[in-house]
A and B are shown apart, each in its own frame.
Chain A
Amino acid sequence: MRNRVILAAGLLTVMVTACGSTEQPAVVEQIVVRDRGEAAPVVEAGAGTTDLIAMGEDAFQVCAGCHVVEAGARSTAGPNLFGVVGRKIGGLESYSYSDALAGSELTWDEANLDEFLADPAGYLPGTDMLAGAVRDEEARAAIIAYLANQSSPSGE
């Protein structure tokens, strides 16, 4: 008899774990930016500003899927880019780089970052950064300006 009770617990486990909690809070806040079909407002990266760093911060959003730029923050898929300008290539100790970057003796500066971002695998064959090339020259310059700013104390 006890046998039955114990074995029947298996079903209960499946039920409880498969259903999970169904208690859901109400929608707390709903910001409707625009309706579907409505033309999207034309927003260029950094539109209305000539501040290269601010433009770069906007343009950097395409990089933010893989990189954080925050002093001391843990790297995500790509290394934390805080302080990248002036850092040895492949130099963030806590990050596991490809051999291509780990083996480089160079230091990141505006010039080689520009070359790298234009064509990562072309500049450093073997890099794991297979996506994320920034073809637009101005966007690249802005991103680098932003990153250089994030290297200095004023960026904190």
Chain B
Amino acid sequence: MNDLSPDEKKPSKLAKWSRRGFIGAGVLAGGGLLIGIGVRPGNPIGALGPKVAAGAGEQLVNSWVKIDTDNIVTAIVPHCEMGQGAHSVLAQMLADELDASWDNVRVMQAPADGSYVVSDTARMFAAPFTLNAADWLEPTWDGLFTQLGKSMDLLITGGSSSIRTTGQHQMRIAGAAARQMLIGAAADAWEVPAEEIATRDSMLVHEASGNSAPYSEFASAAADQPMDHTPTLKTRDQYRLMGRSKARTDIPAKINGTAEFGIDAVPDGLELSYAAVVRPPVPGTTVTSMDANRAEGMSGVLQILNMGNFVAVVADSYWQAQQAMNTVGIEWSQSESPVKTMDDQFAVFASALDGAGDTGGDQAAARGDAPGALADAATTIDAEYRAPYLAHAPMEPLNCTAHVADGKCDIWTSTQVPLMARSEVASTIGIGADDITIHQQYLGGAFGRRLGSEYVAMAARVAQATGYPVKMIWSREEDTQKALYRCADMSRMRAGLDESGALVAYDSVFTQRHDPAEACVPAMYDIANTSVRVAEAELHLPFQAWRSVDHSQQGFFIESFIDEAAAAAGADPLDYRLSMLTNAPRHTAVLEKLAEISNWREPSAEGTAKGVAIVESFGTIVAEVIEVDMTSGKPVLTNCWAVCDAGYVMNPDGFRNQIEGGIVFGLTAAMYGELELEDGAIVQSNFHDYKMLRMNEVPNIEVALINSGDVPVGGAGEPGLPPAAPALTNAIFAATGTRLRELPIAKQFV
């Protein structure tokens, strides 16, 4: 059985892994230095060089850092940039270990090639660092995970992982190794001991002899230096860039409009045509007939294509394509899904939960004897919670530019998974992966949506059919109604309290368990008897990871129900949580700090109240207090305080941005997020009926950070989200006595 107790987690292997890596070096055209990680002896290194730095003479590929003759340091990052700031902070981590001058650091997106798989991400997903591997096995694991990553196309940006995997275990090692080699080259030239050479701001300095030089002067010679595969990394007191709010490298281009998102792609030398598409209104159905008479006569139209599972109109401009698309009459096949409305979907969930009963289903985690303790409890409480389907609704609609010619395919798109997209294109249009090039653009938001690649394969099919380059753009309506979704779910929860009100038994059963595996388990709390069960049920709409994945609904279920237990015990909800965190000093510190900055213990103004929630996700503990004003009869969000412990924060400003973004995303979903079904099709279509929280509805947000120290660094992109919904509904309960067990909130106060 899966043991829950935090004190029995296995010791981290992180430190050991961070000291290992296979490094190679090479000389750039013109005499620069190129450092790579993950190149093993015998690993063929031919094809990548031209992609990394065009021009003759490049030797090494699979590289993470270049230093050119103008003393510019370029960090080559394998993760995509979707607004989260990963490009910049990964460069910051590399540049710090290299002692590079931040003003002269550039960022380059790594090409979508198997050599750039983020093997550390593979390791994280397949076998978390806490897994207890025999020491003698470890050396083989490094290669194993690189291989595994390649075979599974794991060039992924997701799981709030960029900093804590690639940053900690690849970028920093590359920077530190490059620094040592530069020092070695300078020591040889100046004939002084290497230990006496200092580095700062991309300069080498030997004070005693008065020698100094920019890195560029020794960049070429450095490549001939022996390379330490386990360079010494800086300790925290030596950081110069890490831990500081350095300005992001991608912001200027986003301010002045030169940044190229997927939808901006205008590949050199290609004349683009444009495609609008319509997909089936109900998942799994196909086109049975198409009437394109009207569209054929419309301005700019080139082709109308019935692709079986979607229809495309190709025209000279997107506007013309979409206008013509709107006139095409399409009949769709009948769906076999029994789900026509959300009531039907919840009935499917309820039936699965009924089947599981009090003890059935798959046991996801257990401790003690929950059924027995529930039977013996002085008080028991029961509740049923519901979560709706949600769309990702990224600002940049799904789009992809594709050109298929001469047995090769070029793709320009914004994606979180370029290699998986490549594989999907390969299997869809029958061209080998090596003949497909994915040109990665900035992502105008993704939130998990761009982990799916069906839109990339669709564009490739259209481009293959036309024979000329096509930019396909989904309308906002297509994006909202015909996509992949955060799953709906239902959870039944029971708690047993003893005479003193203490929580002695906890049981939950729900139908959806995707990722991360631990999201459904309230592991941090000292509850002697815990049972967590899954009774799987079919989803009508296709699933896709949505910011914080299972934590997004489980955070709401668990932290609302803990609040119910506190209410049943007549206890202060924050103190009640503290009383169950005796084995969790970091969580305790976070909650205590939160109580302080939110003035938790002071009475709220008439009509207002505060709610609290705490969730650990993606390695970061986040607790939030939300204050709500109910005097108008509707919830008005006045304040939000968040305290986060990510172990160590690499860029405090960037981290706060992500936490604030996660909170607003979570509150948007909590207040408004809902997809309804009519005849099995989604009703909501655009931002007028799939609302975002507006500026005037967003509470003041204050984020405090705790760097608690010697623990693996946690993520930033997702952890701000899970506590937002329960903190808000708990506040509404505190203000009104009404417990909200389903979302969204706003429509319950019309």
- A65 and B326 contact, Cβ closer than 8 Å, known pairs A20-B453, A24-B461, A25-B307: yes
A135 contacts the other chain (Cβ, under 8 Å)? no
- A96 and B688 contact, Cβ closer than 8 Å, known pairs A8-B126, A10-B516, A33-B296: yes
- The answer to whether A7 and B545 have CB atoms under 8 Å apart is no
- A30 and B465 contact, Cβ closer than 8 Å, known pairs A7-B517, A40-B300, A43-B298: yes
Q: How far is the CA of A80 from the CA of B159 in the complex (A)?
A: 42
Instruction: Note all chain A residues with C-beta closer than 8 A to B213.
Output: none
Q: How far is the CA of A32 from the CA of B316 in the complex (A)?
A: 13
Q: How far is the CA of A41 from the CA of B689 in the complex (A)?
A: 39
- The answer to whether A17 and B451 have CB atoms under 8 Å apart is yes
- The answer to whether B303 and A2 have CB atoms under 8 Å apart is no
- The answer to whether B304 and A31 have CB atoms under 8 Å apart is yes
B125: contacting residue among A11, A28, A33, A64, CB under 8 A: A11
A130 contacts the other chain (Cβ, under 8 Å)? no
Instruction: Note all chain A residues with C-beta closer than 8 A to B477.
Output: 76-77
- A33 and B126 contact, Cβ closer than 8 Å, known pairs A7-B131, A20-B453: no
- The answer to whether A14 and B292 have CB atoms under 8 Å apart is no
- The answer to whether B420 and A61 have CB atoms under 8 Å apart is no
B2: contacting residue among A3, A22, A28, CB under 8 A: A3
B711 contacts the other chain (Cβ, under 8 Å)? no
Instruction: Note all chain B residues with C-beta closer than 8 A to A11.
Output: 122, 125-126, 152
- The answer to whether B125 and A6 have CB atoms under 8 Å apart is no
CB nearest to B315 among chain A residues: A33
- Interface size of A by CB at 8 A reads 42
Centre residue among A3, A24, A26 by max chain B CB count within 10 A: A24
* Nearest Cβ on chain A to B679's Cβ, whole angstroms: 11
A18 contacts the other chain (Cβ, under 8 Å)? yes
Cβ contacts B626-655/A at 8 Å (1 or 0 each): 000000000000000000000000000000
- The answer to whether A20 and B685 have CB atoms under 8 Å apart is no
CB nearest to B125 among chain A residues: A11
Q: How far is the CA of A51 from the CA of B452 in the complex (A)?
A: 48
- The answer to whether A27 and B465 have CB atoms under 8 Å apart is yes
Q: How far is the CA of A76 from the CA of B690 in the complex (A)?
A: 12
* Nearest Cβ on chain B to A2's Cβ, whole angstroms: 6
B98 contacts the other chain (Cβ, under 8 Å)? no
CB nearest to A29 among chain B residues: B306
B233 contacts the other chain (Cβ, under 8 Å)? no
* Nearest Cβ on chain A to B474's Cβ, whole angstroms: 14
- The answer to whether A19 and B517 have CB atoms under 8 Å apart is no
Instruction: Note all chain A residues with C-beta closer than 8 A to B327.
Output: 61, 64
- A26 and B158 contact, Cβ closer than 8 Å, known pairs A4-B127, A14-B515, A19-B420: no
- The answer to whether B305 and A43 have CB atoms under 8 Å apart is no
CB nearest to B286 among chain A residues: A25
A71 contacts the other chain (Cβ, under 8 Å)? no
A15 contacts the other chain (Cβ, under 8 Å)? yes
39-85 of chain A: CB within 8 A of chain B = 40-41, 43, 61-62, 64-65, 74, 76-77
391-430 of chain B: CB within 8 A of chain A = 417, 420, 423-424, 427-428
B252 contacts the other chain (Cβ, under 8 Å)? no
- The answer to whether B685 and A18 have CB atoms under 8 Å apart is no
* Nearest Cβ on chain A to B166's Cβ, whole angstroms: 16
Instruction: Note all chain A residues with C-beta closer than 8 A to B305.
Output: 27, 29-31
- A31 and B685 contact, Cβ closer than 8 Å, known pairs A14-B451, A18-B420, A18-B452: no
Instruction: Note all chain B residues with C-beta closer than 8 A to A65.
Output: 322-323, 326, 475
* Nearest Cβ on chain B to A67's Cβ, whole angstroms: 10
Instruction: Note all chain A residues with C-beta closer than 8 A to B158.
Output: 14
118-149 of chain A: CB within 8 A of chain B = none
A154 contacts the other chain (Cβ, under 8 Å)? no
Q: How far is the CA of A27 from the CA of B287 in the complex (A)?
A: 11
- The answer to whether A36 and B302 have CB atoms under 8 Å apart is yes
* Nearest Cβ on chain B to A42's Cβ, whole angstroms: 9
Q: How far is the CA of A65 from the CA of B322 in the complex (A)?
A: 8
- The answer to whether A17 and B322 have CB atoms under 8 Å apart is no
B195 contacts the other chain (Cβ, under 8 Å)? no
Q: How far is the CA of A87 from the CA of B302 in the complex (A)?
A: 39
B128 contacts the other chain (Cβ, under 8 Å)? yes
A9 contacts the other chain (Cβ, under 8 Å)? yes
Q: How far is the CA of A15 from the CA of B452 in the complex (A)?
A: 10
Q: How far is the CA of A18 from the CA of B542 in the complex (A)?
A: 11
| B contact residues vs A (CB 8 Å cutoff) | 1-3, 122, 125-128, 131, 152, 156, 158-159, 271, 273, 286-287, 290, 292, 296-309, 316, 322-323, 326-327, 364, 417, 420, 423-424, 427-428, 451-454, 457, 461, 465, 468, 475, 477, 484, 514-517, 542-545, 678, 683, 685-686, 688-689
Q: Which 5 A-B residue pairs are closest in the complex by CB-CB distance?
A: A25-B308, A29-B306, A11-B125, A28-B306, A31-B304
Known: A18-B420, A18-B451, A19-B453. 20 other contacts (CB 8 A): A3-B2, A4-B131, A6-B2, A6-B517, A8-B127, A10-B516, A15-B152, A22-B427, A22-B457, A28-B287, A31-B296, A31-B303, A34-B301, A43-B299, A61-B326, A64-B323, A64-B327, A65-B323, A65-B475, A77-B688
30 A-B contacts (beta carbon < 8 Å): A2-B1, A6-B517, A11-B122, A13-B515, A14-B545, A17-B514, A17-B545, A18-B156, A18-B417, A18-B451, A19-B424, A20-B454, A22-B428, A27-B305, A27-B306, A27-B465, A29-B306, A30-B305, A30-B306, A31-B303, A32-B302, A34-B301, A36-B468, A40-B300, A43-B297, A64-B326, A65-B322, A65-B326, A77-B685, A77-B686
